[in-house]
Structures are given as C-alpha cells and as structure tokens.
Structure 1
Amino acid sequence: MSIYDFTVNDNKGNSVSLSEFKGKVLLIVNTATKCGLTPQYEGLEKLYEKYRDRGFEILDFPCNQFAFQAPGSAEKIDSFCTLKYNTKFRRFEKIKVNGGDTAPIYQYLKKQKPGRIEWNFAKFLIDRNGQVSERFSPQEKPETLEGAIEKLLNE
C-alpha cells in the first residue's frame, strides 16, 4: 500500500486520486487559518516555489479539530490563503485527523509514522514511491525541512 491508493476531495469537492502525484515528493500538512502557526503558510509557499520544478508538491488539508482554528468554508479558506500568503499549492477538503472520523489518508499516515496528530501544521514527507519518509512536528518550521526534501528529490 502507498499514498497513491487514496482518493481525496479537493477544496472544490472534486475527487482526486493521489496516484496523480506518482513520482513526486509530497509534503502533506494539516493546516488552519486562525492558528499561531498559520504564518507557516509563508514558509510552505517558499518551499513549493523552490522545489516544484523538481517534482515537489504540497498537499494542504485544512482541519478544524484544534480549537476550531480553521473555520469557514473552503472558499473562505482558499481566499485567505491566496490573499494573505499567495499560496499556489493544492488545497483539499477540510478533514479530521484524529478520532473516530479520521480521514482514511490520515489513518494511513499515522499508521506509518505512529502517534496522534498533536496540532495544526503536522507534516508528513512522502518519497517518490508514495511511502511515508518522515514526520515533522507542527513546531518545525518549513525551512527546516529543506535537507530532507533535497535528499528525496535527489534519489
């Protein structure tokens, strides 16, 4: 099994097979727009701009489970991210990352790198074969992931 076995909905409600990302290095992040860590969007966009031409993608999954810090519709979240941080990476439907209603993709991620998602902006780095390579805590700033991303892009 790999990340490519999952289908998720994008922020417009369209079904997206993650097999669309075969051969790419992925960073999967649960995000929030009203969190102290929200400025990480800026660092995420810088990573995306720096590495996208080498086969790097960021998959943004808004999550309202932590202190209700991702309120609003998909359209409002998208507008906020675009206007405030000029993000261009892919955004998906709001999901749950813990508990009985955990999205299947997050069940898989947590099985590969165990533990509850502790807060917004937990990050999972996926290799070009769709396998979970590393998990990073919410406090780890996006720029600290460059070495790990470079390593996977060079494999």
Structure 2
Amino acid sequence: MGARASRPDISDVDAFYDLPAALDTKGDAYDFSQTKGKVVLVVNVASLCGLTTVNYADLKSLQDEFGDDLLIIAFPCNAFLFQEPFGARKTCAFARKRGFTGVVMAKVSVNGCSTSHVFKYLKRETNTRRIGWNFGKFLIGKDGKVRGFYTPHTRPVTMKEQITKLIAE
C-alpha cells in the first residue's frame, strides 16, 4: 500500500489568503497570500460543459470591466460527467483561447472525500454542502472573507453589483 498524500489542515484558517498553497497548471505552488487585499472570484470550470461558453464570456467581461481590481481563479474539475478530460496544459490553453486571463489552477475535486482543501474551506465558509455542477462561484472580499456562493446557473455578469461593492470597501 502506497503512502497517501497529506491533506493540508484548514481548521484554523480564517481568511482565504491564509489557505495553504495549491498547485497551478504548471505544477507550481500558488501562494494564496498574494490575494490579500483583492476581491477574488473562485470558479470550478470545465471545458466541455454546456455552461462553458457563456461563463467564459462573462468571466472575460468581468476581467475587462474590473481589471486588476478583481482576481479570478479557475479550478478545473472533472467530477461532473467528465467534462474536463484534458491535462493541465490543454485546459489552460482552452481557457486562454476564450480570453480568460486569470489564474488557472491544477484540476481538483470539489466534492467527496478527495475535495481540495480550497473547496473544503469555501464550502465551510458558505455552508455549502455540495457543489452541484461546473461553474459554481465563490466571491471573496478584500479581507479574505467568503461573501457568497453562486450556483452554476448564476451568470458571472449578474454579480457586477456585488463585486463593485466589495471593491469599494
């Protein structure tokens, strides 16, 4: 029996920017402390989902409108009908081809026993038991507090008012 990778302990994490690092698509550790003082939108994405086109278009629109005031972090996930079958490089290229300029992380699980520590934290902070599909969204304030979970069918552009308020805080 092989050794199991240890999962980071997040029990004492009070802010998003205090989370232990996670891997990006290049295999590099992404230090969440660099999100301190920024409004962040975390999205679980998939390349082959029926919601992909509209969500990537909306995410691009938010990036264009808010620029450096909003950081969008995409976490590819293959849990829902295997709609993210690609490897890290192809997934990142897919997102970039759609105009996404945010951070693309390594593929993760968002539900179940192998849930990423990032999504365990986000779900804990919003009392979200389960993410139901691709493109679930978590909005985080500059203070690192998770301000809400938005379902996959919530279009990112409908979040502009909340994002604007968080930027102004």
TM-score after normalising by structure 1: 0.96
Q: Does 1:48 align with 2:63?
A: yes
Aligned residue number for residue 9 of structure 2: none
- The letter for the 2-side match of 1:101 is S
Aligned residue number for residue 7 of structure 2: none
Of 15, 32, 46, 1:18 maps to 32
- The letter for the 2-side match of 1:97 is V
Q: Deviations over 1:36-85 (max 9, x none)?
A: 000111110110121123x21000000000000001111111111222x1
Aligned residue number for residue 115 of structure 2: 102
**Structure 2: gaps of 5 or more residues:** 1-13
The alignment partner of 1:47 has SS state of helix
**Structure 1: gaps of 5 or more residues:** none
- The letter for the 1-side match of 2:28 is N
Identity %: 39
The alignment partner of 2:59 has SS state of helix
TM-score after normalising by structure 2: 0.88
Aligned residue number for residue 84 of structure 2: 70
Q: Deviations over 1:107-126 (max 9, x none)?
A: 01111112201100000000
Q: How does 1:1-155 map to 2 (within 5 A)?
A: 1-6=14-19, 7-39=21-53, 40-53=55-68, 55-83=69-97, 85-114=98-127, 115-155=129-169
Q: 2 CA distance for matches of 1:138 and 1:34?
A: 14
The alignment partner of 1:125 has SS state of strand
Q: Deviations over 1:75-98 (max 9, x none)?
A: 111111222x12111100100000
Q: 2 CA distance for matches of 1:56 and 1:79?
A: 21
Which structure has the bigger radius of gyration?
A: 2
Q: What RMSD, in angstroms, separates the aligned Cα atoms of the two structures?
A: 0.8
The alignment partner of 1:26 has SS state of strand
Q: 1 CA distance for matches of 2:96 and 2:70?
A: 19
Runs of 4+ in 1 over 4 A off after TM superposition: none
Q: 1 CA distance for matches of 2:24 and 2:108?
A: 11
- The letter for the 1-side match of 2:143 is N
The alignment partner of 1:94 has SS state of coil
